[in-house]
Structure 1
Amino acid sequence: MKILVTGATGNIGRKVVDHLLTMGATDVRVLTNDPRRAALPDRVEVISGYLRRLDSLPIAFEGVDRMYLAPTPDTVTEVLTLARTAGVQRVVDLSGEPESWWGSVTEAVETSGLEWTHLWPGDFMENARIWAKQIRDTGAVREPYPSTASAPIAMDDIAEVAATALLEDEHAGKSYGLAGPEILTRTELVRQLGVALGRDIPFIPVSRDEAVQAFRSEMGDTASWYVDNVLGGMVENTLAPTGSVPEIIGRPATTFARWAADHVGDFAEAATQ
């Protein structure tokens, strides 16, 4: 069984590759726009390409049975048509509920004629990295919604779920909402990050416009979108722990405290200022 991992340079796709190999997959092909940056193992077949470069895909899909689909809503319909034509049978996609931002990926997959498994993650623990510059520059985190809560999930957990779904037939035709093991407010996330870094990090509530300004140097023009759609979206929609991660991979989902302790290096410069 040949498995294709698209977006193999990405944060989740790269981890999917590692989990597939750990689980014993022996015929893994990866699609990446930057093979050198991906630092891929010698045991995988590397194809240079990108889901938005449709002419790079036929050779990538040749002989593939199953694939992990990174989300590219603008080309997903064409990508899936090429995959089906090439003989791909099943897709495990990273997407979202039909009414969500990534719902168009879900809809395209379900109408493609391929077998599918949907992975619908909530807030990523890795999003905490956007605080590093604020902490470095000011020693604090400034956001508008201190009591807003989520059940953040580690990208590595998502990748392990994806690899499991690719290898095991029982997950075909299922949609999995993926969340971490506990609901945490924004202030609690900052507190736990401070514990891992060995320092107190104040959470300073600010207005929406002040938050956009605080994130602009790190996120550029996407700062407004992030504050309005990601942070603002959490105000009305708190995704609670779903239990899917331990059910699928057979171990507890990673806690934010564990993630923070494992990623102190991501914030090391901030912690020493």
Structure 2
Amino acid sequence: MAILVTGATANIGRMVVDQLLARGATDVRALTIDPGKAGLPGEVEVVEGHLGRVGAAAFEGVDRMYLAPSPGNVAQVLEVARAAGVRHVVDLSGEPESWWGSVCEAVEGSGIGWTHLWPADFMENTLSWSRQIRESGVVREPHADTATAPIAMNDIAAVAATALLTDGHIGRAHSLAGPEILTRAQLVAHLADALDRDITFRTATREETITALEPTMGDNTTWYVDNVLIDFAPPPQSLPTTSVEDITGHPATTFNHWARLNADRFLAD
């Protein structure tokens, strides 16, 4: 029986494909808008489509699936999946009270076995600082001391693959975080070390932060600043910093290591 990966050429979906193959999965199906440009491994069955337009054929013979975030039409997708015989959905979402709560509700109400993945902020989100770093060596945000445990997308994908391939995950919600609690200023310091250049954190107003981030984040900037940088500050003691290793058996990626692997992405135009 096949495992269907939706959003298979998006950031995390593509990594889920690789993590499944690395763990020995032999019947992986990838849903993507343009199969000809997908660049997926040859052993993967590639089917055309996306979560806004999923035909029943994509689910034929599928037993388990990774569900990329799709709050707009998740109920319709799950209806098609259930009718086709899908038995287990691993979804990337968030706590019921968050902006992804509708995904959790729809998945749990679908009648399909489910596993929720609720990640902390992504390490990749710091790439929104790249232009500031290149042009001024200064990162501007409202709160230097806000602390989180950012997680690498590939670690989320590893958890997703583990949940799809091993028993004991149905009916569970996995809160995921990276291995270290770091303030925003400490993240900047790690980037300075990884990039081998002077980078400083400067406390900024809401408006200054939006102006600084807009060139890299575009239309999502105001939402991100208001909902993540200003209003979202989980207490550090609540962050599940051992979650990735507990589930996969392998240590999670540290931010310093991730920054060194991705240094060129911060410096490229």
Shorter chain as normaliser: what TM range? over 0.9
1:39 deviates by 1.3
**TM superposition outliers: structure 1 runs of 4+ over 4 Å:** 236-239
Distance in 2 (CA, whole Å) between partners of 1:87 and 1:31 is 17
Q: Decide whether the 8 Å contact of 2:180 with 2:241 is kept in 1.
A: no
Matches within 5 A, 1:164-203: 164-203=162-201
Aligned residues with identical type, % of pairs: 61
Distance in 1 (CA, whole Å) between partners of 2:72 and 2:229 is 24
Aligned residue type for 1:3: I
RMSD, aligned CA: 1.3
Distance in 2 (CA, whole Å) between partners of 1:16 and 1:182 is 23
Unmatched 5+ stretches in structure 2: none
Distance in 1 (CA, whole Å) between partners of 2:120 and 2:182 is 13
Distance in 1 (CA, whole Å) between partners of 2:191 and 2:138 is 11
Query: Quick check: 60-69 or 29-38, which moved more?
Result: 29-38
Q: Decide whether the 8 Å contact of 1:7 with 1:13 is kept in 2.
A: yes
Q: Secondary structure at the match of 1:65?
A: strand
Distance in 1 (CA, whole Å) between partners of 2:199 and 2:36 is 37
* TM-score, normalised via structure 2 length: 0.96
Q: Decide whether the 8 Å contact of 2:8 with 2:31 is kept in 1.
A: yes
Deviation readout 1:58-112 (Å, 9 max, x if unpaired): 1111110000000110100000000001111110000111101111101100000
Distance in 2 (CA, whole Å) between partners of 1:37 and 1:196 is 33
Query: Quick check: 167-176 or 104-113, which moved more?
Result: 167-176
Distance in 1 (CA, whole Å) between partners of 2:123 and 2:37 is 23
Aligned to 1:71: 69
Aligned to 1:244: 243
Aligned positions, number: 268
Aligned residue type for 1:261: R
Aligned to 1:32: 32
Unmatched 5+ stretches in structure 1: none
1:237 deviates by 5.2
Distance in 2 (CA, whole Å) between partners of 1:165 and 1:216 is 36
Q: 1:154 to 1:58 in 2, by over 3 A?
A: same
Aligned to 1:18: 18
Matches within 5 A, 1:187-226: 187-226=185-224
* TM-score, normalised via structure 1 length: 0.95
Q: Decide whether the 8 Å contact of 1:93 with 1:117 is kept in 2.
A: yes
1:227 deviates by 0.4
Distance in 1 (CA, whole Å) between partners of 2:234 and 2:226 is 12
